[in-house]
Structure 1
């Protein structure tokens, strides 16, 4: 099983439909940093269509169906994916059109509801701590 690296899927059903439309019947190249699976046994990889420099993840970001992850190691890739996300944010596409996508730092209940998931939080940072691999 492959996990699309560099993104967190915001809307699974719509993202799956978009991926099917984009990839069905086409040649796809997968590129990963190494062969180490994640803790769920999935292989993180970037998916590229033939003759494309931007991974498929960029299309999902551009349509607001995913959020750029904070763990993109390659600077050029991170820049391209963040630009695709910024495009969706500016156009209020997909998940960016929903008021609930950005959580208020002053509403702990909103943030706590997202424990274990990638969450966008906006506001003033009052404290930070690390617990295991989570900051």
Structure 2
């Protein structure tokens, strides 16, 4: 049909970490709780952050391919529904993909890319091993 729908349940202070859907735009409606949501625009747009705190009934759109996130800001669970403009939107979780690559990306490459000490990169890679 060209669309998909997902219910997302967030634990108190839980998050859906930075990720992207390479084949779909996402529209999220908050049903319960409070979420801090946002996406980062492209490099050509100076990587601007578009973010908002959502309350029940609020809606937010994440454009196709943009890195985005949601974080429960409250002490109680939050519930949202998201529609995606593809039945196969795909998902690429940024930290899992970069630090959990198999085989691992050379830590020197990631250290330079993220401006981190190589030992910090190695520690992150250990945390994200499959």
TM-score strictly above 0.5: no
Greater strand content: 2
Greater helix content: 1
Structure with bigger RCO (C-alpha 8 Å, 6+ apart): 2
TM-score normalized with structure 1 length: 0.30
